[in-house]
Amino acid sequence: MLHSDIKSRPTYRALEPDLAAAGHLLVVETATLQPGGLANLADTFAPVAAKLHTWLVGEAQAVPGLGKPWQLPAVADVVDALACATRGYGIGDRLYVQGTEPFLWSVATAAAIVGFGPGQIQLCHAGSLQRRVWCTHCHGFTEQVTTNVVPCAGCGRHLLVRDHFSRRLGAFMGVMVDAEAPGEIPAIEEVFA
């Protein structure tokens, strides 16, 4: 479980089915699963199994108890699937997401567009601490960042990854690290492995 004293970063908790809900959608980034992780999820969601849909994103072996999981290759497919969902989601439905932080926010952002309110979504962090970084200067995104300083995928500036998180962007802030003294770039270290 991810513990953090960054005030703007949400608190992530273990998933827990809301027994009163009408429908349940579980979305899991399978690359972040520990051995036996799917079986644990099946136990957790057993009380609502009859009303559970599971989307497994990435490679995975299905296990009993998660219904007939739908396999999706990548998070982009989750975003597409939510956008195209014809069954519709109502206020009684719940969304549960487990994976890395950028994965959680890609799914949560797409779900918000089709009507999921914050109170209907549970997010559980799993796997790498890698961050999505938003460049304050060009407003581009850099994905899978594991270092304290990273070259921006948009403008190439070296960005210091600040401990400040925006849910709307699903990303941490990146600010040019050598703006005061061009070329003075601190040692780059792996800090979000």
Partner 1 sequence: MSIAFKPEETFRGDYSYRNSDAAILRFPFPFPEDKYMYSVNIEPHVRSGPSDVYLRPFDVDEHYIAECRDRAITLERDPGRCQVLPHMMLAQWDTLELLMENLSADYPEHFTLTKEGDDFGSRWTWTNRPLGIEQSFIFGDAATLPCEPFEYITRQAQGDFAICDQRDDNLYMDAGMVTSQADWSLEFDVGMSFMEWHGPVPLAHQTGVFERALKYLLMLRLGQPVRRLNWTMTINPRLDTSPESFPEWGTDRASVTPDNAGQKVHLRVELQTLWRLPRSNAILFPIRCYLASLDDLARVPKWGARLHRVLSTLPPQLVEYKGLTRYLPAALAWLSRHDDGRALPVGTEAGVSTLS
Whose Cβ is closer to partner 1: residue 81's or residue 138's? 138
> What is the closest distance, in whole angstroms, from the C-beta atom of residue 142 to partner 1 in the complex?
15
> What is the closest distance, in whole angstroms, from the C-beta atom of residue 52 to partner 1 in the complex?
29
Q: Which of 1, 3, 7, 187 binds partner 1 (CB under 8 A)?
A: 7
The H-or-E segment that residue 102 falls in is helix 101-113
Q: With binding defined as CB under 8 A, does residue 8 bind partner 1?
A: yes
First to last CA, the chain: 14
Order of strands, sheet of 93-99, starting from the edge strand that comes earlier in the sequence: 70-72, 52-57, 23-29, 93-99, 121-125
How long a stretch of residues is the chain? 193
> What is the closest distance, in whole angstroms, from the C-beta atom of residue 152 to partner 1 in the complex?
11
Give the interface size with partner 1 as a residue count (CB under 8 A). Answer: 24
Q: With binding defined as CB under 8 A, does residue 114 bind partner 1?
A: no
DSSP string for residues in 19-77: TT-SEEEEEEEGGGPPTTHHHHHHHHHGGGGGGEEEEEESS----TTS-SPEEESSHHH
> What is the closest distance, in whole angstroms, from the C-beta atom of residue 9 to partner 1 in the complex?
8
Q: Which of residues 173-192 bind partner 1 (CB under 8 A)?
A: 173, 175-176, 179-182
User: 170 and 145 in contact (C-beta within 8 Å)?
Assistant: no
> What is the closest distance, in whole angstroms, from the C-beta atom of residue 181 to partner 1 in the complex?
6
Q: Give the residue carrying structure tokens 């014809």.
A: 86
Q: Per-residue x/- marks for partner 1, 127-166, CB under 8 A?
A: -------x-xx-x-----------------x----xxxxx
Whose Cβ is closer to partner 1: residue 13's or residue 139's? 139
Pick from 84, 131, 128: nearest CA to 105: 131
- Site residues, partner 1 (CB under 8 A): 6-9, 134, 136-137, 139, 157, 162-169, 173, 175-176, 179-182
